[in-house]
Amino acid sequence: MNPPELTTLLPTAQAPSADRLPLGGLLALATAAFITIMTEALPAGLLPQMSHDLGVSQAWIGQLVTMYAIGSLLAAIPLTVATRGWRRRPLLLIAIGGFALVNSVTALSENYWLTLVARLFAGVFAGLLWALLAGYASRMVAPHLQGRAIAVAMLGAPLALSLGVPAGTFLGTVVGWRLSFAVMTGLTLVLLGWVRWQVPDFPGQSAEKRLPVKQVFVLPGVTAVLFVTFTYVLAHNILYTYIAPFVVSAGLTAQIDQVLLVFGLAALVSIWVTGLLIDRRLRSLVLASFALFVLAAVALLLNASSAATVYGAVTLWGLAYGGVPTLLQTALAKAAGDSADTAQSMLVTVWNLGIAGGGVAGGMLLESLGVMSFSWAVLGLMLLGLWVVFNARQQGFPVRH
């Protein structure tokens, strides 16, 4: 995400309006985020079907999420650094177009290992796309609208979780998981035309503003935000990647899509509240997010066999998670200043390290200790992250005076 200072890179002819949001372009970015999250998360809702069709265990299907994360983990920083001087829209189109390719391969593949390779490249394109989105949104508006613009661009993520993944899960259950990925390809092709029509082009970052990656990493507050990002995403993905076997253990076998829908709707409420308060209450919102996730984990520990408890905990979890991407990106942009683009690529890397770790750790916990171990893991990680946020009073998550 670019800080306000980077808007000076805009030529005068491309200066954004001071009074309104360019919703056509921002919603195109939100759709790109939607496709990215859908591509990432669909295997979580389709574990049983994909496991049966590809002839591997559900734990191995979980590694499709892991491989996606590894691709982003490996690509985000080097690709972002290598393309800092490129014009933004052609680069954005390349990243989006990659999803049409990899989702087509996934839909057609009969071989688990080919599907795994496709997921790796999906992660590569995702790493590049996530490094672009927040900064793109901030450059499309005047400085005083940047927080709202980023919230609109990030709206695609909770929409994917609330509507897209449940719909894709339902579609995959009724007519086969391959059609879900084929629909994603069609949506991506439409998006390419939308971006070309509605999203403006911007120059890349000038050479004099490019700090080395190591210098950006040690800027005050950057490390704290990245550490908090890792703990939160790791905890989230331990639970989300293996949500299907978790709800089955609670007797909700036929309600996986409904559980995901409740989570996503709560996430939508969360991002709406975040958009309203982020400029004034960033630290408070981050603390509240961790606290809600802790409450959800405690509820699941106390009575995970109750359907009412599961739905209540998932609601708390969704409220906790929905605004987190925007909150952490904003905190990192404030800490990194002019080096926000490079810091954003670090966040993408750490985020996907958390996704990959969640897939691996969740699979190990599932195979060795069972689904009830997820709640203990989530609780421990949340308390650790909450401690870091609480102590990052000066830099990272500063107290507003």
- pLDDT 10s per residue in the chain (401 long)? 333 333 333 333 344 555 688 999 999 999 999 999 889 888 877 888 898 888 888 888 888 888 888 888 888 889 988 888 888 899 999 999 999 999 999 999 999 999 999 999 999 999 889 888 877 887 888 777 777 788 888 888 778 866 777 788 888 888 788 988 999 999 999 999 999 999 999 887 766 666 777 778 878 888 999 999 999 999 998 888 787 777 777 777 777 778 878 888 898 889 889 888 887 788 999 999 999 999 998 988 888 777 888 889 899 999 999 889 889 988 887 787 767 777 888 888 888 788 878 888 888 887 788 777 888 888 999 999 999 999 888 888 988 64
What pLDDT is stored for residue 292 in this prediction? Answer: 94
Return the closest-CA partner of residue 153 out of 199, 90, 214: 199
DSSP three-state, residue 10: coil
Dihedral-angle region of residue 271 (phi above 0 means left; psi in -120 to 50 means alpha; beta otherwise): alpha
The secondary element (H helix, E strand) that includes residue 351 is helix 340-368
Note whether 164 and 38 are within 8 A (CB). yes
Distance of CA 281 to the CA centre of its chain: 21
Q: Cα dihedral angle (380, 384, 390, 393), rounded to 10 degrees? A: -160
- Give me the amino acid identity at 166: P
The model's pTM is 0.75
What pLDDT is stored for residue 316 in this prediction? Answer: 94
Return the closest-CA partner of residue 241 out of 66, 86, 90, 1: 66
Cα–Cα distance list, 132 to 29, 33, 300 (Å): 10, 11, 36
CATH architecture of the domain 19-389 equals: Up-down Bundle (1.20)
Domain boundaries, given as residue ranges, for the chain: 19-389
Cα separation, 294 vs 174, in Å, equals: 35
The secondary element (H helix, E strand) that includes residue 297 is helix 256-303
What pLDDT is stored for residue 6 in this prediction? Answer: 34
Cα separation, 78 vs 346, in Å, equals: 10
